[in-house]
């Protein structure tokens, strides 16, 4: 099971627990339970409006999953009503804003542009944006490499370039969590610690008073400047570099190494909710859980 699959499963289990309502009560959305219970498939816009409020306030996995479900139900019931509410594309944009995986963000953005061309980037902008992203991605990959090599001055220069820190923070989620211990956090830490304060990465230092001049191995870095990294961290960094440089699409083996062979998603509105792990038929909120409408509803 992948890390992403495990996270999704954990959220699903949390949603099924009896104490879910107490978790949701920490949201500052007015009359949340009352408004959830009032939602009906005949009004897709109601799901969308509440999803936007929940997504804005959400700060834990259960709350984010509630926002995802509301967005998915807004999309699904708009589709079932022949897009009469006009909220399908907006639901995709909202989902993309809270998605943690970049591939899912691209999929959601593509679905939004398919439903409403206003969300598609103009043709004249695409080449420029691709070039910009490539330049930033290359600088981000170089910053990681320079920091690993103990070239802190060069790494710090690269990290100061516009968009580089943001790229490492965003794409670093593919191989680790944000905050302490993340790829960005470690890269900055390594860049600040090096070059070696004793030998300046020369690996050896002059022994005063010697003639002819004599040198000894640097006692600080032991002749091997740069941070000491675990094999797991090094592999994670190399995986991220491959992703930044778009090398992951060059072979099946590389693809498997990066994402575990996750299947590509089709832009099929009929399977949209299911692709997000949402049962579109469970569209009514009753007793703190999503249920199917009864005969009388």
SS (H, E, C) 163-232: CHHHHHHHHHHHCCCCCCCCHHHHHHHHHHHCCCCCCCCCCEEEECCCCCCEEEECCCCCCCCCCCCCHH
- Spatial CA neighbour of 2 closest among 172, 175, 254: 175
pLDDT band at 14 (very low <50, low <70, confident <90, very high): very low
Q: Where are the domains of the chain?
A: 3-120+265-291, 125-194+229-259, 196-223
State if pTM tops 0.75.
no
Q: For residue range 50-104, what is the model confidence (pLDDT) as tens digits?
A: 999 999 988 888 889 999 999 999 999 999 999 999 999 999 999 998 887 767 8
pLDDT band at 106 (very low <50, low <70, confident <90, very high): confident
Q: For residue range 250-293, what is the model confidence (pLDDT) as tens digits?
A: 444 544 444 555 555 667 899 999 999 999 999 999 999 999 98
Phi/psi for 200 (5° steps) reads: 55, 40
Contacts (Cβ under 8 Å, ≥6 apart) of 108: 92, 93, 95, 96, 99
- Spatial CA neighbour of 267 closest among 76, 80, 108: 108
Residue with the larger pLDDT of the pair 80 and 182? 80
Q: For residue range 109-162, what is the model confidence (pLDDT) as tens digits?
A: 889 988 987 876 555 445 555 555 788 889 999 999 999 999 999 999 999 999
Predicted confidence at residue 120, as pLDDT, reads 67
Over residues 220-238, the mean pLDDT reads 90
| Rama region for 122: left / alpha / beta (φ>0; ψ in -120 to 50; rest) | beta
Whether residue 5 is predicted with pLDDT greater than 70 in this model: the reply is no
Q: For residue range 191-201, what is the model confidence (pLDDT) as tens digits?
A: 999 999 999 99
As a whole number of angstroms, the distance between CA 28 and CA 266 comes to 36
Over residues 205-213, the mean pLDDT reads 93
Predicted confidence at residue 3, as pLDDT, reads 42
Predicted confidence at residue 232, as pLDDT, reads 83
């Amino acid at each position: 099971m992948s890390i992403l699959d495990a996270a999704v499963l954990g959220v699903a289990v949390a949603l099924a627990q009896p104490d879910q309502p107490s978790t949701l009560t920490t949201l500052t959305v007015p009359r949340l339970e009352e408004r959830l219970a009032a939602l009906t498939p005949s009004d897709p816009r109601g799901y969308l409006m509440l999803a936007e409020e929940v997504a804005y306030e959400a700060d834990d996995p259960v709350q984010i999953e509630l926002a995802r479900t509301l967005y998915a139900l807004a999309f699904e019931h708009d589709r079932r009503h022949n897009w009469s509410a006009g909220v399908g594309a907006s639901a995709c944009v909202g989902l993309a804003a809270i998605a943690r995986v970049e591939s899912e963000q691209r999929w959601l953005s593509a679905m939004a542009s398919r439903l409403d061309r206003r969300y598609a980037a103009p043709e004249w902008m695409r080449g420029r944006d691709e070039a910009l992203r490539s330049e930033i991605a290359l600088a981000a990959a170089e910053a990681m490499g320079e920091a690993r090599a103990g070239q802190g001055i060069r790494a710090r220069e690269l990290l100061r370039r516009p968009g580089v820190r943001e790229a490492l923070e965003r794409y670093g989620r593919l191989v680790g969590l944000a905050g302490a211990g993340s790829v960005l956090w470690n890269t900055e830490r390594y860049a600040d610690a090096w070059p070696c304060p004793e030998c300046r990465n020369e690996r050896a230092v002059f022994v005063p008073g010697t003639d002819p001049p004599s040198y000894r191995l640097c006692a600080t870095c032991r002749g091997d400047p740069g941070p000491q990294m675990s094999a797991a961290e090094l592999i994670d960094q190399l995986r991220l570099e491959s992703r930044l440089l778009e090398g992951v699409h060059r072979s099946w083996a590389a693809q498997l190494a990066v994402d575990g062979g996750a299947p590509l998603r089709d832009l099929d509105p009929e399977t949209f909710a299911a692709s997000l792990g949402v049962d579109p038929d469970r569209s009514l909120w009753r007793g703190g859980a999503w249920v199917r409408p009864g005969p009388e509803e």
